[in-house]
């Protein structure tokens, strides 16, 4: 993350480049900024408005004055001051004035309960049982991950307007039901952990295969998801799914450096395995073994075990696809979703051939999911059905937002025989 890292103030004569740099820093710091503001002021709308005003101020000042040595601290202070000004102008309740005064109070904050990390605490707060599960996750991705509504909608495979309505309703529910911004008691944490795990995985996934026209991989998001997963694992060491999620993220992150080359996605079987992070693999596999020893498999534990099999293989050709297919069979009994079935079909293609796998894939209701089209395109290519494969690649490109993946899909399509 950027906060706390000493930097020389920089001047950029290119206004577009300067704006891009400011927006990148703001996006990286957004989750920290919102969590801090919500804790201090207890209001999402005030936090988001103040954060937005801080961005405007940064866009006005930084291109001329240079990026400050501590950009995250600058944004937090500026946003806090803007929130205080707003509260004073509107003459809100005395309790809000007291909350605003905390910025100038040197005394320690009141105890915050079982969770001491602002961002993880806000995730648990957003995952209140009074909110619908999809609303909890969507709102947390917006507030903590800094994802746009369009990015969140893509993760849920729904229309952007639908996702915007969910987030708006969730905020209204919090206000209407007077849901407090407080830390749940330690005994209440396990009941909320499932939604929190889902949020962390989606934040990680957005970083690992980022949507939009920016960097194809956002290390700030993958790193933040892992940091929060570590904190959660330390908080709930006996929760096997929290352990499984951390293992899954570590094993996936271990391959990040080898995943993009020359602006193009490199598939798992084509990656240079010498570039994988062996320390992360060892840590992740140790966590997987701890889960297996408990013999109470859950969704994240099985996904971690699948990734452990991949990281065990010295080459793509040496992958134990039978074990992976068996693990997906086990996962499908817990999570019988079409995306699990799609991933299982990839393993089936290696075991029983592309024709068998294609029959499975064609039955799945995933026409808006780019990976479904990309999988069909590859299976059709392997079957020698070039015209159909080209159509599938075109369909995948029409709904794919990641620049590196688009480059890969374009190259594969253009390699097809006429």
Nearest to 285 by CA among 299, 313, 257, 304: 304
Q: What percent of the chain has pLDDT over 90?
A: 45
Average pLDDT over residues 114-135: 77
**Listed range (22-31, 96-105, 283-292, 386-395) with the worst mean pLDDT:** 96-105
Burial of 385 (0-12, 13-18, 19+ CB in 10 A): middle
Q: Could you read off the pLDDT of 290-348 as tens digits, one per residue? A: 999 999 999 999 999 999 999 999 999 999 999 999 999 999 999 999 999 999 999 99
On the question of pLDDT at 2 being above 50, the answer is no
On the question of pLDDT at 83 being above 60, the answer is yes
Taking the C-alpha atoms of residue 407 and residue 400, their distance in angstroms, rounded to an integer, is: 10
CB 402 within 8 A of CB 216: yes
**Listed range (8-12, 28-32, 70-74, 361-365) with the worst mean pLDDT:** 8-12
pLDDT number for residue 213: 62
Task: Catalogue the long-range contacts made by 331-340 (C-beta closer than 8 Å, 24 or more residues apart).
Answer: 331/299, 331/302, 331/303, 331/306, 334/297, 334/298, 334/299, 334/302, 335/299, 338/364, 338/365, 338/366, 339/366, 339/369, 339/371
On the question of pLDDT at 115 being above 70, the answer is no
pLDDT number for residue 415: 95
**β-bridge partners, 264:** 261
On the question of pLDDT at 96 being above 90, the answer is no
Query: Would you place residue 104 in the very low, low, confident or very high pLDDT band (cuts 50, 70, 90)?
Result: very low
* 154 vs 71: which has the higher pLDDT: 71
Average per-residue pLDDT for the chain: 85
Query: Would you place residue 27 in the very low, low, confident or very high pLDDT band (cuts 50, 70, 90)?
Result: confident
pLDDT number for residue 236: 87
pLDDT number for residue 359: 98
Question: Which CA distances in Å does 327 have to 49, 224, 255, 299, 360?
Answer: 46, 28, 21, 10, 17
Query: Would you place residue 212 in the very low, low, confident or very high pLDDT band (cuts 50, 70, 90)?
Result: low
Q: Could you read off the pLDDT of 237-288 as tens digits, one per residue? A: 999 999 999 999 999 999 999 999 999 999 999 999 999 999 999 999 999 9
**Listed range (49-53, 185-189, 327-331, 352-356) with the worst mean pLDDT:** 185-189
Cβ-Cβ contacts under 8 Å for 297 (sequence gap 6 or more): 291, 305, 330, 334
CB 44 within 8 A of CB 171: yes
Average pLDDT over residues 95-109: 45
* 166 vs 156: which has the higher pLDDT: 166
Nearest to 267 by CA among 407, 402, 375, 408: 408
Look up the pTM and report it. 0.78
pLDDT number for residue 112: 41
Query: Would you place residue 401 in the very low, low, confident or very high pLDDT band (cuts 50, 70, 90)?
Result: confident
Nearest to 247 by CA among 304, 319, 162, 167: 304
Query: Would you place residue 356 in the very low, low, confident or very high pLDDT band (cuts 50, 70, 90)?
Result: very high
Handedness of CA 69, 231, 185, 110 (dihedral sign): negative
CB 182 within 8 A of CB 195: no
pLDDT number for residue 144: 78
pLDDT number for residue 86: 82
On the question of pLDDT at 15 being above 70, the answer is no
Residue 91 region by backbone torsions, left for phi larger than 0, else alpha for psi between -120 and 50, else beta: left
pLDDT number for residue 214: 67
On the question of pLDDT at 221 being above 50, the answer is yes
On the question of pLDDT at 3 being above 50, the answer is no
On the question of pLDDT at 226 being above 90, the answer is yes
């Amino acid at each position: 993350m950027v906060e706390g890292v000493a930097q020389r103030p920089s001047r950029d004569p290119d206004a577009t480049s300067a704006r891009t740099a400011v927006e990148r820093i703001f996006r990286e710091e957004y989750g920290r900024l919102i969590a801090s503001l919500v804790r201090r002021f207890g209001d999402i709308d005030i936090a988001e408005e103040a954060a937005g005003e801080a961005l405007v101020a940064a866009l006005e000042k930084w291109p001329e004055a240079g990026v400050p040595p501590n950009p995250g601290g600058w944004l937090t202070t500026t946003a806090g001051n803007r929130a205080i000004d707003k509260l004073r102008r509107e003459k809100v309740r005395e309790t809000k004035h007291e909350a605003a005064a905390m910025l100038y109070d040197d005394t320690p904050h009141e105890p915050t309960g079982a969770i001491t990390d602002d961002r993880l605490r806000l995730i648990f707060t957003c995952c209140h049982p009074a909110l619908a599960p999809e609303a909890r996750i969507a709102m947390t991705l917006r507030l903590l991950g800094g994802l746009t509504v369009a990015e969140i909608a893509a993760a849920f495979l729904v229309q952007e307007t639908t996702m915007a309505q969910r987030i708006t309703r969730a905020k209204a529910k919090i206000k209407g039901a007077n849901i407090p911004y407080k830390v749940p008691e330690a005994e209440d944490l396990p009941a909320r952990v499932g939604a929190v795990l889902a949020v962390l995985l989606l934040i990680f996934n957005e970083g690992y295969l980022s949507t939009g026209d920016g960097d194809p991989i956002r290390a700030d998001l993958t790193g933040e998801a892992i940091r929060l997963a570590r904190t959660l694992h330390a908080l709930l060491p006996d929760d096997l799914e929290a352990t499984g999620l951390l293992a899954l993220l570590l094993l996936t992150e271990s391959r990040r450096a080898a995943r993009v080359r020359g602006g193009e996605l490199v598939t798992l079987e084509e990656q240079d395995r010498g570039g994988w992070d062996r320390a992360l693999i060892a840590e992740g596999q140790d966590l997987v073994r701890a889960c297996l020893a408990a013999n109470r498999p859950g969704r994240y534990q099985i996904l971690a075990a699948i990734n452990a099999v991949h990281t065990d293989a010295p080459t793509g050709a040496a992958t134990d696809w039978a074990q992976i297919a068996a693990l997906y069979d086990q996962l499908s009994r817990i999570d019988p979703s079409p995306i699990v079935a799609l991933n299982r079909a990839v393993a089936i293609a290696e075991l029983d051939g592309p024709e068998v796998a294609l029959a499975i894939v064609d039955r799945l209701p995933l026409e808006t999911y780019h990976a479904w089209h990309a999988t069909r395109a590859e299976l059709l290519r392997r079957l020698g059905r070039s015209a159909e494969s080209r159509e599938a690649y075109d369909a995948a490109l029409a709904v794919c937002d990641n620049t590196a993946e688009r480059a890969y899909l374009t190259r594969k399509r253009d390699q097809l025989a006429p």
